[in-house]
Amino acid sequence: MNFVWTSVMLVGMGLLLINNVEVTMDTLLAGGSKAISLCIKLWGIYTLWLGILKIVEHTGLDKKISKILRPIIKLLFGKVDEYTENQIAINITSNLFGMGNASTPSGINAIAGLDNKKSKYATSAMIMVIILNSTSMQLIPTTVIGLRVSAGSVSPSDIIIPTFLATVCSTVVGIILVKLFSKIFKDK
């Protein structure tokens, strides 16, 4: 992360210095402002879904979901404690329903549950959470369909099946790669 970030910043700013120095500071500041407006939007989304998530927890529904998903969780993550297992179960479920940002809070809780608060190295279980969420199942890619409608497409929902197949493929490849890498590089 450090390497990628620093190289993008150095090379990018170097290019701007040569080609278009006037916009450099504006660009840097624009990044910060855009992050704030996204965070305000996310704050609203998180408020709703964390509220809903607590209801799920207090009604004991999370335990029921994780009981159903236990074999899958065990296969993907190995042994985890009960709280983390429930969070992972909710996370997988919300990803399956294509809730997008709604799955972020439970995913973050799951990672925090897997963390031992001491090590600075990510474990393979944590990386599995990251990969599952980044290659997230999007059953119906609503935003993209919306864009197609406004661009005047004759059949905007054409892309649903191909997108679904591509998602399944990226998820499967992701899971296999994490399993493979976790064999080669043991957790520290």
Partner 1 sequence: MSKYLLPTLIILLLLYSLIKRNNTYNSFVIGAKSSFDLVLTSFPYIATIFIAVEIFNVSGLSYLFADFVAPFFENIGIPKELSQLVILKNFTGCGSLALLENIFQTYGPDSYLARAGCCIAGCSEAIFYVTAIYFSQTKVTKFRYAIIVGILANLAGSIVSCLICKII
Between 47 and 68, name the residue whose CB sits nearer to partner 1: 47
What distance in Å separates the CA atoms of residue 126 and residue 116, rounded to the nearest whole number? 11
Q: With contacts defined by CB under 8 A, name the span among 31-39, 67-75, 79-87 that binds partner 1.
A: 31-39
Measured between its terminal Cα atoms, the distance across the chain in Å is 19
For residue 87, give the amino acid letter.
Answer: Q
Of 63, 65, 96, 163, the one binding partner 1 (CB under 8 A) is: 163
- Residues in 57-116 that interact with partner 1 by CB under 8 A: 57-61, 97-99, 104-105, 107-108, 111-112, 115
- Residues in 114-153 that interact with partner 1 by CB under 8 A: 115, 117-122, 126-127, 129-131, 133-136, 138-144, 147-148, 151-153
- CB contact at 8 A, 100 and 70: no
What distance in Å separates the CA atoms of residue 87 and residue 93, rounded to the nearest whole number? 10
What distance in Å separates the CA atoms of residue 155 and residue 148, rounded to the nearest whole number? 8
Q: Is 43 in the site for partner 1 (CB under 8 A)?
A: yes
Task: Identify the CA nearest to 110 among candidates 122, 96, 99, 97.
Answer: 122
Between 20 and 68, name the residue whose CB sits nearer to partner 1: 20
CB of 60 to partner 1, least distance (A): 7
Residue 183: count of CB within 10 angstroms of its CB: 9
Between 53 and 69, name the residue whose CB sits nearer to partner 1: 53
CB of 44 to partner 1, least distance (A): 8
Task: State the Rg of the chain over Cα.
Answer: 20
Of 71, 79, 81, 162, the one binding partner 1 (CB under 8 A) is: 162
